[in-house]
Structure 1
């Protein structure tokens, strides 16, 4: 697939242009319509292919720092148009970008390194994320992007919603709100063919049952949380909205940089000790960012902008999460899980520092050089520790597309 003259992550505008071209080329099968607007007034678009009642909904751009999904969405749409069997008794609907406001603030079309990626980093605070806001906000305060997404789910009643996510460094994994028997095999085969490690102990799915390596099924209501301090619950997110109509959601994660350390199922010799050590480092790194933030805040003219809101939100998660790792028994005892937690512990302060750095650079603040050195050092240490290797963009897209199609086929066979 070649969406652009150079292979890179497409912008929201380029995704919309490609969707318009697809709709114009096959008007009997395709429609493109606006389904709402963002908080900043940016339009939200839905591309629909086919007319069958049973529907698949594919969502891209829920997290602005996970850019593979937009390209994957277009690739899947082209496959559906070109392969009639994919349209047999099912229609496909593609939400081009769930958070265009966030996408406009994250700038890494073709990152050359983790440091380059973090120089343009943005990920909004949890309550501003379209999929997660219902888990932390009352219904009357939900952002318009969330209401547009749940409105589409209400209208389509999809048997499957697939939301396209990614990670900066690690492996690929799938999170399911209900099991899809048969999905684990094609998922693992695709990852192996493309030399993408499977994240067997993803910290995002800590303590969840697995139907196969890297395929995690959310536990039933009432199951204890692996991280009690985390302020949200996936069962209150838009992922569960499809359950109202007998459907389910698959979250497909793919890495930008790969690490085989997250694909090691061997038992860790001392997981509890390792997690306590990681918690200590997390607290230490966070304090460094907090000191720079406290020093610079009196000099900044706007302390309520989205970058600083998101930076502070990430920092505020740290004390509770570190306490979880120190005092809660490990949810998993494998090297893969400890590696995933190690990556998580590096991401939180690095992301907060990166967003703060963008603000300091914009205002030419005197603390910017010191923070930039910190972001560069942490990015390099992250890549070195995990022996990071770039996953070619075409492989990121291919693996995510294959997994979407396999989920649609196997969930259809499931009969929900």
Structure 2
């Protein structure tokens, strides 16, 4: 694929064009269909690779582009589709379905097709607030206010009843890890082998999965419905996300994370000498950095969504407060969402629930998480200020530049080629698939649960 050889992340339109070409080249096994429309009127595309005849069991649903700032998933989805098309064994009896981009509106605002540095990546950064993210929206909004992207995704899950759902994610700087809604025994070994071969560190203490069981390095199992969800430093409840919807059909969801820039500091298993002291320092720095951004935000004037707070539904774009540019309004909503999260996070880091014991890797991961929060808010705000010619733009530009340089230096960042990111995600998805199929076979089933055609995982 030329896009990968050129080290470039494909856009949603490029993904759709490549998928259309695949469908035209393999009319007996591949098809492309529109499954919905985004809030901005953009198409939501599903590429399906199916066996000849009636499928023998439930299939696989792969979701790319759920987070606008994590663009590798679309390239991985296409690479996987090609592998499945050329491997009759993998597609035998099961359908593979690929959501090419779950949030095309967000992808249109995050314009970093070929970032060569963290600064370049953040120059055109965008990540929507939680209620506007397709997978997270159900954990933050009532059912009657879910965005169309979420409704399209949940309808697909209900239609396909996948025995394996995979969500392809990425991180700016760090390592690779996998989050599972149920354990997949045996996944840790091929996952670690792939990461080692491709020189991608395994993030053994991912802040996204703080406090979750870990059956192997970089593998984390999410809290089950009814269990205590405490531990993760996020406002969303993973159990209410679209990841758990596959459980209605006895399915399992895997979230595969891969870094754009690697840091070998995120897999250090040594005990940290003073986790609570370190968290107090990180909380203080995060609060101070956020205050710098908030002071500039106050100079812009007007909140893009009056009275909004984390957990509220997105409203119409207020042109009076962001010019007439809906992109500026979306950026400001994301800035405000991010800044509103930070006080809650610093309280958690310094509260009684802060861990008394933790690995060096876990504290390092939390350090990176805190840095990216304030940096992302500043980067998105800078985009608005530049477009407006605001006098505060040069000062904020210097702040963003300095933070990017400090982030890269602190974590000894090294770039991971797009090809390696795609290869690692692809291998991990196939390993998860193979182990679930083998487990179903060991139970003496064809992978279906009879009553509803779902696989018991």
TM-score by length of structure 1 reads 0.97
Q: More deviation in 51-60 or 357-366?
A: 51-60
Q: 4+ residue runs of structure 1 moved beyond 6 angstroms?
A: none
SS in 2 for 1:329: coil
In the alignment, which residue of structure 2 is the partner of 1:223?
228
In the alignment, which residue of structure 1 is the partner of 2:410?
385
Q: Give the alignment of 1:13-412 within 5 angstroms.
A: 13-51=13-51, 52=55, 53-220=57-224, 221-227=226-232, 230-297=234-301, 301-303=320-322, 305-327=329-351, 328-330=353-355, 333-412=358-437
Q: Which runs of 5+ in 2 are unaligned?
A: 304-318, 323-327, 441-455
Please give the root-mean-square deviation of Cα atoms over the aligned residues, in Å: 1.5
Q: Which runs of 5+ in 1 are unaligned?
A: none
- State the alpha-carbon separation in 2 of the partners of residues 405 and 5 from structure 1: 22
In the alignment, which residue of structure 1 is the partner of 2:451?
none
- State the alpha-carbon separation in 2 of the partners of residues 260 and 366 from structure 1: 39
Shift in Å, 1:222 = 2.2
Shift in Å, 1:211 = 1.3
Contact 1:171 1:262 in 2 (8 A): yes
Give CA-to-partner distance per residue, 1:262-287, whole Å, 9 cap, x none.
01111111111101100000000000
Contact 2:33 2:47 in 1 (8 A): yes
- State the alpha-carbon separation in 1 of the partners of residues 329 and 7 from structure 2: 32
Contact 1:206 1:332 in 2 (8 A): no
SS in 2 for 1:211: coil
**How many positions carry a matched residue from both structures?**
415
- State the alpha-carbon separation in 2 of the partners of residues 171 and 95 from structure 1: 24
- State the alpha-carbon separation in 1 of the partners of residues 83 and 28 from structure 2: 16
In the alignment, which residue of structure 1 is the partner of 2:443?
none
Give CA-to-partner distance per residue, 1:350-385, whole Å, 9 cap, x none.
000000000000001000000000000000000000
TM-score by length of structure 2 reads 0.89
